[in-house]
Each structure stands twice: as C-alpha cells, then as structure tokens.
C-alpha cells in the first residue's frame, strides 16, 4: 500500500506524537485530516508543534466521542491512525472516568465505524504500560500482560479489541506498543511523572532541583519521537503487520539516573532529590525489537545522546512554553 495520495485520519494529531506522525505522512504525499480537541495544554500547541502551519492538512477541532463528527471524518478517509488518548499514567489514575470515556469508549466507537466504512487499515497506538511489572528486564510481545495502571489496562483492552475486529470482521489492523517516548516538542503536564527527559530538561533549564521517583535505577527504553512516528508510518505500508501488535523501541535499557547524566551533559547541574515511587508506575524494562525489525525491516536511528541534545536545541527556542508550575 503506497500512502501517497491516501486519505489518512489522525486522531490526536496535534500533540507530540501525533504531530510527528503528521509531518512524516505529509512528507510522503498523504492527504491528512487531523482531529484534536486541543485540551492537552493551555498554549497554542496546534501551531507551536507545527501541524497548524502545514497548509495541506485539514484540521478539525473536535472530540473523538462525538459520534456524528467522527463518523463523517472516517467515512471520508482510507486509513485511520488512532493516537488520541488520555495519555498519562498519573492523569488516568486521578481521572478514571475520563480515561474510560477517552481510551475505551471512544476507541470502541471508532473501531465500529471503521468496520462499517470498510477502512483500508486501522492503526491503534498502544503502550509498553500494557506489560505491567517486568518478570525480567526485557519485554517480549509473547509475554503475558498484567497492567498495573488504568492507562495500561485501557491500552491493553484497546489492543485486544482491535485484534478481535481483525479476526472477526476482517478489519485490517495493527497495534504498536510505544516505549518511553521523548524528544521535541514534548511538554510535561502537571502531576505527570512519565516524561523524564522533558521534565528533567525543563527543571534544569529553570535552575530548579530534579525530582526522581524511586531510587532512579528503574529501567526504561527511551525512544525518540521521530523514530516512534517512523514506526507508525512504516507499518501502514507493510502487509506483514496486519492483525499484529509489536513493540516500538530501541531495544536498549537506560535507567532514570542515566537520563540525569545525559541532561547534565547539556546544561549546568542542579540538585537532585528522591521521592517514593508512585502507585501505578511500573518499574519498567526495555523492548525486544525482534518483531519490529522483522515486520518493518527497520530500526530506530536516533541515539539517546543525539536525541537529548536535539531536545535542548529545541527548548532553547521554546522556553516560553515551559509550564508556569515548574
């Protein structure tokens, strides 16, 4: 499937991950529609993150729970990339009702409409949070999933429902499990503890202490958002991904303490303080990327050193969006 001139709907397409997906789709000649309710941040991220400046993109401000609106949009597109979500572990713990409405109810509605309209492909954006606490340090797609947060459970449900729509109704689908996403234009949300690179970088930029939850030895697989977006776009054009779910990560373990060291290579050091590990946040691990390489014939290209340096370069020109609550 060549995506040039394909009509593609990206839900949540104005956000950090969504905007990177949209830019890659645009570079390949796709006809893109974005729906986003623009509620994630108090600033104009539609333009700050770049989607609003792409003339060829049709932008619709709206809610993915608006059945009439989402039906109309899906009907006019060939492919749906479902990136919209309440995409923060802490926010989902605090607001389980909102998490259910956005991550579960809306996903079900979108799947049903995609089936009805015989969409050519539905891509569900999932998360490594589906795994829960690791049995070892590496997560494989064959591992049993035991989510420990509302967010992880909602993503696991979305994966399973997506798989059922593939098996029962022949809807072409793919689910992609993102590992720890970082890189521009990621901006932390108040109360979040999920985005270490962005949070640590902005705190250091403001000369404020960095807070590490737990002892900092918990492992993550930090994957640049540009590589994350690339894995999504490549999966559109691969028949090998139909009905499958796979990890999108680097396959390289990094501790939270390591991230602090990388940050301090780009800015003056600030004090570090440690607090208890929050509930619902797994100790983590890193991805087995065997299936990703097999399905996509590709692997991430941006190293952590390069990615964090790039983030500081972006931050130097975007200090005005550092949240006031920092």
Residue-averaged pLDDT of the chain: 95
Average pLDDT over residues 102-118: 98
Of the CA atoms within 13 Å of residue 139, those in its CB half-sphere come to 34
CB atoms within 10 A of CB 178: 24
- Predicted confidence band of residue 174 (pLDDT cuts 50, 70, 90): very high
Contacts of 77 (CB under 8 A, 6+ apart): 7, 8, 9, 33, 119
Average pLDDT over residues 119-132: 96
Instruction: Give which of 46, 54, 62 is closest to 26, Cα–Cα.
Output: 54
The secondary structure element, H or E, covering residue 220 is strand 219-220
CB atoms within 10 A of CB 23: 18
Distances (CA, A) of 102 to 4, 14, 39, 143, 226: 30, 16, 12, 26, 25
The pTM is what? 0.96
Bridge partners of 173, per DSSP, are 122
Average pLDDT over residues 118-145: 93
pLDDT at 110: 98
**Residue 151 catalytic?**
yes
Instruction: Give which of 27, 49, 46, 47 is closest to 38, Cα–Cα.
Output: 46
One CATH from 3.30.200.190, 3.90.25.10, 3.10.310.10, 3.30.428.10 for 182-220+252-287+302-321: 3.90.25.10
Average pLDDT over residues 249-261: 97
The yes-or-no verdict on residue 1 having pLDDT over 80 is: no
Beta strands in 249-298 (DSSP E): 254-255, 272-275, 286-287
Q: Which two tokens stand for residue 85?
A: 């979500």
Q: Which two tokens stand for residue 310?
A: 């790039």
- Predicted confidence band of residue 135 (pLDDT cuts 50, 70, 90): confident
Name residue, tokens 């640049």: 224
Q: Which has the minimum average pLDDT: 89-98, 146-155, 252-261, 311-320?
A: 89-98
The yes-or-no verdict on residue 280 having pLDDT over 70 is: no
What is the number of helices (H) and of strands (E) in the chain? Answer: 12, 15
Residue from 45, 49, 151, 295 carrying the catalytic annotation: 151
Domain boundary assignment for the chain: 7-179+224-248, 182-220+252-287+302-321
Q: Which fold is adopted by the domain 7-179+224-248?
A: Rossmann fold (3.40.50)
């Amino acid at each position: 499937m060549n995506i040039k001139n394909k009509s593609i709907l990206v839900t949540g397409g104005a956000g950090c991950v969504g905007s990177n997906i949209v830019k890659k789709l645009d570079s390949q000649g796709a006809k893109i529609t974005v729906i986003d309710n623009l509620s994630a941040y108090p600033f104009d991220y539609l333009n700050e993150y770049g989607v609003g400046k792409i003339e060829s993109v049709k932008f619709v401000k709206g809610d993915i729970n608006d059945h009439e609106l989402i039906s109309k949009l899906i009907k006019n597109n060939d492919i749906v990339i479902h990136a919209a979500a309440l995409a923060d572990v802490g926010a989902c713990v605090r607001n389980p009702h909102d998490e259910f409405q956005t991550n579960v109810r809306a996903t079900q509605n979108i799947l049903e409409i995609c089936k009805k309209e015989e969409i050519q492909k539905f891509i569900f954006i999932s998360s490594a949070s589906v795994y829960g606490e690791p049995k070892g340090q590496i997560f494989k797609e064959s591992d049993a999933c035991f989510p420990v947060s509302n967010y992880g459970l909602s993503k696991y449900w979305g994966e399973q429902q997506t798989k059922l729509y593939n098996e029962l109704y022949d809807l072409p689908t793919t689910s992609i499990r993102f590992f720890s996403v970082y890189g521009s234009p990621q901006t932390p949300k108040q109360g979040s503890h999920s985005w270490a690179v962005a949070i640590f970088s902005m705190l250091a930029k403001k000369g404020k202490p960095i807070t590490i939850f737990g002892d900092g030895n918990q492992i993550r697989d930090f994957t640049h958002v540009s590589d994350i977006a690339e894995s999504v776009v490549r999966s559109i054009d691969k028949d090998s991904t139909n009905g499958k779910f796979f990890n999108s990560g680097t396959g390289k373990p990094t501790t939270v303490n390591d991230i602090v060291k990388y940050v301090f290579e780009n800015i003056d050091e600030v004090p570090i303080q440690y607090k208890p590990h929050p509930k619902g946040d797994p100790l983590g691990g890193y991805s087995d990327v065997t299936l990703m390489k097999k399905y996509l014939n590709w692997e991430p290209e941006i190293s952590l050193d390069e990615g964090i340096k790039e983030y500081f370069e972006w931050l130097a020109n975007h200090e005005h969006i550092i949240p006031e609550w920092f």
